């Protein structure tokens, strides 16, 4: 089919077989006219050369739908360079589409960041050039970038891993898009190099850690110890958050009487650092009321962790006189706050479980020691009881032996007394008397020879008629010694 072109209203109208070369026409900036069912290009020497290469031949006269007759040029150099604004913009659009159709990787610093109707808009500027031009007051080179809502959903995983806000350094893959409205070129984002941005964030994070180590603050809080009974807790968190409820609910399950004071703070966003630092200042003024500090927030994207890679928060943790336990909700990554704190747990629930376990372990240790002490005392009491039982048996045996011995002695004494009594009765029966002193003691003749012989005596006689004894009280007036005569 023959290919021809016509010029109408500063348009190159392509007629004939255009289906087989429609892609080439598109790349050249061609537009489809649905009313006339044909393709058209902006008149220019470049486009005339292009369509000539595809075998298009010009027509002398074109009659439009309004029956207007237009005389067209027959040579390329006779095409007018006088263009309307619309045709001039179309020509630029055609040039951009033809010469900037590839995708390019560009990097720079984000500024004027905003989100509207799900689409993301920002300017990407040359940070190094901005620093160079600072002295000359020249603005840095920049280009407006657009991330459409649909593409943002496809790149959601990558976006969640980087910091996309004013001041962020990013590397993006873009295509050029020329907007006729305002005649502005935009960079349409097709992909994001997260390693580039993460690398910059890693360098910032590394610089903070090195500074903390240089100041001797990196391990300062780790040298403190969580008390054995951490019952009084200063909780830094968002009061109405899931993290707060999870932490408190887990402590309630332990049925331990924890006492919690909540310091309500923003746990993400620009106010995070100021809120947390102010909470630390308040806690430090009342440090005698607490055993430890807990910083708790719920889960979120990896990017949310950046709010805790903050040197001001790290310094507050390091200088705290109380041990700090962090739980910022990330399993695979650690923030700087995690690194400098005394204890780091992954989730609020894990932090609460750590504290309740610490208390329970202390109580278990106490009760175990009490049980061991009780067992030791019981064993000691058992040994003492065995000793007492043994002594009791020995004493009982010894007592029985002594009693038996004394019984035998008494029996002998009884026998002697019977013999004495019999001999005494016999003596009394023959008329003799038994002499007692005033104390009821039997006295002998030797007692009368003492320096002070007894004066008052009692004599015992036997009454042979009635088998009774007669007692007579006498007073000794004098004692006479008489020699025996042979």
Q: What average pLDDT does the segment 276-294 reach?
A: 93
**Residue 229 token pair:** 């009974």
**Residue 127 token pair:** 């940070």
Sequence-ordered list of residues with C-beta below 8 angstroms from that of 233, at least 6 positions apart, any chain: 258, 259, 260, 261, 290, 291, 292, 293, 294, 355
Last-in-domain residue among 166, 201, 236: 201
Give the DSSP letter of residue 223: G
Tell me: pLDDT of 454 over 90: no
In the predicted model, what is the mean pLDDT of the chain? 81
In this predicted model, which residue has the larger pLDDT, 247 or 417? Answer: 247
Domain range for 458:
433-475
Q: What is the pLDDT of residues 259-268, one digit of tens each?
A: 999 999 988 8
Residues 153 and 196 in one domain: yes
* Residue 258 lies inside a defined structural domain of this protein: yes
73 pLDDT tier (thresholds 50, 70, 90): very low
Tell me: pLDDT of 68 over 50: no
How many CB atoms are closer than 10 A to CB 13? 20
pLDDT of residue 258: 93
Taking Cα atoms as reference points, which of 328, 293, 318, 344 lies closest to residue 213? 318
354 pLDDT tier (thresholds 50, 70, 90): very high
Taking Cα atoms as reference points, which of 122, 120, 208, 103 lies closest to residue 168? 122
Residues 111 and 236 in one domain: no
Sequence-ordered list of residues with C-beta below 8 angstroms from that of 169, at least 6 positions apart, any chain: 107, 108, 109, 110, 127, 196, 197, 200
* Residue 383 lies inside a defined structural domain of this protein: no
Question: What element of type H or E holds 461?
Answer: strand 456-463
* Residue 185 lies inside a defined structural domain of this protein: yes
* Residue 400 lies inside a defined structural domain of this protein: no
188 pLDDT tier (thresholds 50, 70, 90): very high
Taking Cα atoms as reference points, which of 94, 104, 79 lies closest to residue 24? 94
Name the domain count of the chain: 4
In a 3-state reduction of DSSP, which class is residue 151? Answer: helix
Sequence-ordered list of residues with C-beta below 8 angstroms from that of 217, at least 6 positions apart, any chain: 314, 315, 318, 319, 340
Q: What is the pLDDT of residues 431-453, one digit of tens each?
A: 778 888 888 888 887 777 777 78
* Residue 11 lies inside a defined structural domain of this protein: yes
Residues 93 and 109 in one domain: no
CATH number at residue 142: 2.40.50.140
| Planar angle of CA 349, 352, 357, nearest 5 degrees | 120
CA distance 136 to 156: 39
Q: What average pLDDT does the segment 68-84 reach?
A: 46
pLDDT of residue 76: 41
CA distance 296 to 467: 114
Last-in-domain residue among 176, 201, 226: 201
pLDDT of residue 78: 44
Q: What average pLDDT does the segment 3-19 reach?
A: 81
Residues 107 and 94 in one domain: no
Residues 325 and 456 in one domain: no
pLDDT of residue 139: 65
In this predicted model, which residue has the larger pLDDT, 50 or 197? Answer: 50
Contact call for residues 25 and 14 (beta carbons, < 8 A): yes
* Residue 257 lies inside a defined structural domain of this protein: yes
Contact call for residues 267 and 241 (beta carbons, < 8 A): yes
CA distance 420 to 414: 9
pLDDT of residue 201: 66
Instruction: Find tokens 């043994």 and name the residue.
Output: 390
* Residue 170 lies inside a defined structural domain of this protein: yes
Tell me: pLDDT of 194 over 50: yes
Residues 48 and 109 in one domain: no
Residues 225 and 298 in one domain: yes
Taking Cα atoms as reference points, which of 444, 237, 458 lies closest to residue 348? 237
61 pLDDT tier (thresholds 50, 70, 90): very low
Tell me: pLDDT of 72 over 60: no
Sequence-ordered list of residues with C-beta below 8 angstroms from that of 43, at least 6 positions apart, any chain: 7, 10, 11, 12, 79, 80, 83, 87
Q: What is the pLDDT of residues 304-345, one digit of tens each?
A: 667 888 889 999 999 999 999 998 866 566 788 888 999 988
Give the DSSP letter of residue 241: S
* Residue 41 lies inside a defined structural domain of this protein: yes
pLDDT of residue 309: 81
Residues 310 and 242 in one domain: yes
Q: What average pLDDT does the segment 39-45 reach?
A: 84
pLDDT of residue 324: 94
Q: Quick one: what percent of the chain has pLDDT higher than 70?
A: 85
Residues 89 and 107 in one domain: no
Q: Side-chain half-sphere of 449: how many Cα atoms within 13 Å?
A: 5
How many CB atoms are closer than 10 A to CB 291? 19
Tell me: pLDDT of 137 over 60: no
Last-in-domain residue among 360, 391, 423: 360
1 pLDDT tier (thresholds 50, 70, 90): low
Tell me: pLDDT of 64 over 80: no
CATH number at residue 227: 3.40.50.2300
Residues 220 and 356 in one domain: yes
Q: Choose the weakest-confidence range: 107-116, 125-134, 173-182, 233-242.
A: 125-134
| Planar angle of CA 309, 313, 314, nearest 5 degrees | 75
Residues 236 and 316 in one domain: yes
Q: What is the pLDDT of residues 395-425, one digit of tens each?
A: 989 888 889 998 888 888 888 888 877 777 7
Residues 238 and 187 in one domain: no
């Amino acid at each position: 089919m023959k290919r021809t072109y016509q010029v109408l209203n500063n348009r190159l109208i392509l007629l004939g077989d255009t289906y087989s070369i429609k892609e080439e026409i598109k790349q050249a900036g061609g537009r489809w006219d649905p009313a006339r069912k044909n393709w058209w290009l902006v008149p220019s020497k470049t486009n005339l050369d292009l369509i000539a290469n595809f075998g298009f031949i010009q027509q002398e006269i074109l009659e439009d739908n309004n029956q207007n007759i237009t005389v067209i040029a027959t040579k390329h150099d006779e095409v007018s360079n006088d263009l309307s604004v619309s045709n001039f913009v179309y020509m630029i659009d055609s040039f951009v589409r033809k010469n900037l159709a590839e995708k390019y990787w560009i990097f720079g610093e984000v500024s004027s960041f905003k989100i509207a109707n799900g689409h993301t808009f920002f300017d990407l500027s040359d940070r190094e050039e901005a620093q160079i031009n600072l002295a000359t007051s020249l603005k840095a080179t920049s280009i407006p970038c657009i991330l459409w809502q649909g593409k943002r959903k496809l790149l959601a995983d990558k976006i969640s891993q980087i910091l996309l806000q004013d001041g962020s350094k990013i590397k993006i893959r873009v295509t050029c898009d020329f907007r006729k409205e305002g005649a502005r070129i935009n960079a349409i984002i097709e992909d994001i190099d997260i390693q580039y941005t993460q690398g910059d964030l890693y360098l910032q994070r590394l610089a903070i850690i090195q500074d903390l180590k240089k100041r001797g603050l990196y391990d300062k809080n780790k040298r403190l110890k969580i008390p054995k009974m951490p019952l009084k807790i200063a909780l830094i968190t968002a009061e109405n958050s899931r993290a707060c409820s999870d932490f408190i609910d887990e402590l309630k399950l332990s049925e331990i009487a924890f006492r919690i004071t909540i310091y309500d703070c923003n746990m993400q966003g620009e106010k995070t650092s100021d809120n947390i630092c102010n909470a630390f200042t308040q806690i430090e003024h009342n440090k005698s009321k607490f055993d430890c500090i807990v910083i708790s927030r719920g889960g979120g994207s990896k990017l949310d962790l950046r709010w805790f890679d903050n040197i001001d928060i790290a310094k507050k943790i390091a200088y705290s006189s109380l041990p700090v336990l962090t739980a910022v909700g990330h399993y695979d990554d650690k923030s700087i706050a995690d690194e400098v704190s005394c204890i780091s747990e992954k989730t609020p629930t894990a932090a609460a479980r750590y504290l309740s376990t610490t208390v329970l372990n202390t109580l278990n240790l106490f009760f175990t020691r009490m049980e061991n002490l009780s067992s030791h005392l019981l064993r000691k009491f058992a040994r003492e009881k065995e000793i007492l039982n043994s002594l009791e048996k020995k004493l009982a045996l010894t007592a029985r032996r002594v009693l038996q011995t004394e019984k035998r002695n008494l029996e002998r004494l009884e026998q002697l007394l019977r013999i004495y009594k019999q001999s005494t009765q016999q003596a009394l029966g023959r008329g003799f008397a038994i002499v007692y002193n005033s104390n009821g003691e039997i006295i002998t003749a030797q007692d009368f020879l003492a320096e002070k012989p007894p004066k008052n005596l009692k004599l015992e006689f036997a009454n042979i008629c009635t088998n009774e004894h007669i007692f007579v009280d006498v007073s000794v007036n004098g004692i006479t010694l008489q020699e025996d005569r042979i």
